[in-house]
Amino acid sequence: MSTLLPPPGEIAMIPVDWVEERSGAISFGKFMLFRNVPKDISWLQTLGSALITVFILQSTTGILLAMYYQPDPDTAWSTIQWITNDATLGWLVRGMHKWGSSVMVVLLFLHMGRTFLFGAYKYPREMTWITGAIIFILVMGMSFTGYLLVFDERAYWATIVGVNINGTAPILGPALSYILMVGPEISTHTLSRFYALHMLVLPSVIGGLIFVHMLLVVRLGVTSPPWSRMQPTEGDV
């Protein structure tokens, strides 16, 4: 009987081969890992991957917070108090979500600055820059909508000021303020609208744009630094 079985190494490969044959996932993964990048890429070019790490961190801590948080003016503040004081490691999850947002904004600035100084937005990477710029603006939107959810004094008044700033825009401004607040002032509906934007709309759009951004990076290849000496010579075409 035992002679009929293939060696253990081959048995282990059966599920791997099964997946590969049906999806090509294994060869895609190999391509992703072992594709060549320019020899002289620098430490400055790690900021994009750090941003993905922070995005995953914000999503994870955000999901954990959403399990306990209630977007209701009467209970929002108390659920956060409960998360901070009573939930196991809740203070850490909440603290990391809060400070993660600041770190994300700083990293976005640095990543964008690096791209700018490297001239990495130039041909053929214009679309990578544009998707990145939109992600940047949407992340600022995440900060703004996340702010109210804490529902403390600072959150409340800063949101009123923010919405009123929107309201100063000509024609669309007052309508936009009304849509954001769901009425003339902050209410239960404002809180649930901000919550929906903060945890459903904006993260999915940002996630989708990050996917496109990364596809473009893989397709076009990582930029070599502008000071790169790796230049083809005459006979090397």
Partner 1 sequence: MPRLTARERREGYQREYSFQKRHGKPFFPNAVFHDTIVSLIVVALIMGMAILWHAQFGAIPAEATAERIGGLLGPAYEAKADPGVLGYDPRPDWYFFFLFELLRIFKTPELLIVGSIIIPTIWMVLLIGWPFIDRNPDRRLSRRPIALALGVTVPIVLLTLTFYGSKAPGAAGQASTEPGAAAFAGGACSTCHTLANAGTAGNVGPVLDSANPDYATALNFITNGKGGMPSFKATYTADEISCLAGYVATWAAAKGTTPGPQAASAKATYPASCTKAGGLFAGTATNAVGP
CA angle 147, 151, 152 (to 5 degrees): 100
Q: Name which of 3 and 231 has its Cβ closer to partner 1.
A: 231
Cβ at position 22, least distance to partner 1 in Å: 24
Q: Which of 136, 105, 126, 111 is nearest to 49 (CA)?
A: 111
Give yes or no for a contact between 154 and 184, defined as CB atoms under 8 angstroms apart: no
In whole angstroms, what is the distance from residue 64 CA to residue 199 CA? 12
Tokens of 39: 């020899």
Q: How far is the CB of 110 from partner 1 (least distance, A)?
A: 10
Indicate the residue among 113 and 208 with the shorter CB distance to partner 1.
113
d(CA 156, CA 174) in angstroms, rounded, equals 19
Least separation in angstroms between CB 213 and partner 1: 14
Question: What's the CA gap between 12 and 33, in Å, rounded?
Answer: 22
CB of 203 to partner 1, least distance (A): 18
User: Per-residue DSSP letters for 157-177?
Assistant: HHHHHHHHHHHTSSSHHHHHH
Tokens of 186: 């902050």
Q: Are 96 and 57 in contact (CB under 8 A)?
A: yes
Shortest Cβ distance from residue 70 to partner 1 (Å)? 13
Residue closer to partner 1, measured from CB, 112 or 201? 112
- Whether 193 contacts 145, CB under 8 Å: no
Residue closer to partner 1 (CB basis): 10 or 74 = 74
CB of 196 to partner 1, least distance (A): 19
Closer residue to partner 1 in complex, CB, 28/99: 99
Cβ distance to partner 1 smaller for residue 118 or 195? 118
Q: 9 or 232, CB closer to partner 1?
A: 232
- Dihedral through CA 209, CA 177, CA 182, CA 196, nearest 10? 20
Contact call for residues 73 and 187 (beta carbons, < 8 A): yes
Shortest distance in whole angstroms from residue 59 CB to partner 1:
14
